[in-house]
Amino acid sequence: MNFQVIQDIETVMELTELSTEEFAKQLGVSRMTLNNWLSGKKTISEKNISAFYDYTFNKGIRLNKIKEQLYTEEMESGSEVLLFHGAKTMIEGELSLDRSKRKNDFGIGFYCGESLEQSAMFVATYPSSSLYMIKFDCTGLERKELGVDRDWMLMIAYYRQRLGVYADSEIIHTLIGEMRGVDYIVAPIADNRMFEIIDQFIDGEITDIQCRHCLSATNLGKQYVFVSDKALRQAEILERCYLATSEKESYLTSRQEIYDVSRDKVKVARKQYRNQGTYIEDILK
């Protein structure tokens, strides 16, 4: 799926209220070149695509946020939700579970986020990354929802293969059994910072309560994980959206700010809930 560049150019021209000649000048091309793009006589180069989206973002026009709001308004109440998937490059062919890595938060699955910003944030360091907007219809599907709690922590550690000697415990087998027959999972997003905290819990450095409060401090939002082909068939790609360099830089700045705040909150939580809760060896003994 290609970017909807021509439609986006027409939208931005309308928003800026510039003539074709004036807009072409802003982009550093001739009026004839711009007209050729708009008429389909000439294909716009990757360099000019990048220049257009950077120009748009730097003008304060948030195309992706506008699209998010418009698509959200089209969702049928209760049964459909707008989700986002950040890709390092692009999705080739149909959505599939076959290309998924096993060592993800919940193993093999297709992962999406509820937040545009969070989904874009995770791929903002990749030069050719893009963002997909996806409509998901949950009608007739089995759902498993987890919060920032002990079960979620243990599941993340299990699927990320970090439980070690605890992987065969009865509690883990029970939790995995609860996942059988589920079509999709809704759970908090885990990132590298969260893995570090979960590792401290698995290594017996902090209790489950300390870990839960430390993880809550990271506040990354929720993800939808499609773990069955049935769920994936009810997910429809609406659009592949371009991530301008300036846009990605803004997400990375926001991400650093989130990390800075969460780092300090983690220190406070670890101290405040010291000696409260249970260590992993007592939970999974």
* Domain covering 1-61 assigned CATH 1.10.357 in the classification: no
Give the count of beta carbons closer than 10 Å to the beta carbon of residue 215. 25
> Residue 128's CB: how many other CB atoms inside 10 A?
11
In this predicted structure, the answer to whether residue 101 has a pLDDT above a threshold of 90 is no
Nearest-angstrom CA–CA distance, 93 and 82:
20
d(CA 188, CA 147): 6
Query: In this predicted structure, what is the pLDDT of residue 224?
Result: 96
The partner residues of 211 in beta bridges, in order of sequence, read none
Q: Rg of the Cα trace of the chain?
A: 22
- Per-domain residue ranges of the chain: 1-61, 78-283
Q: What is the pLDDT of residues 225-278, one digit of tens each?
A: 999 999 999 999 999 999 999 999 998 887 777 777 777 777 887 888 888 989
Q: Helix (H, G, I), strand (E, B), or coil: what is residue 27?
A: helix
**pLDDT tens figures, 124-162:** 999 999 999 999 999 999 999 998 888 998 998 898 888
Region of poorest pLDDT, from 4-13, 35-44, 102-111, 212-221: 212-221
Q: How far is CA 232 from CA 43, 101, 114, 185, 266, in A?
A: 33, 16, 16, 12, 36
Instruction: Report pTM.
Output: 0.90
Q: What's the pLDDT at 166?
A: 86
Q: Cβ contacts of residue 6 below 8 Å, gap of 6+? A: 37, 38, 40, 44
Q: How far is CA 232 from the centre of its chain?
A: 16
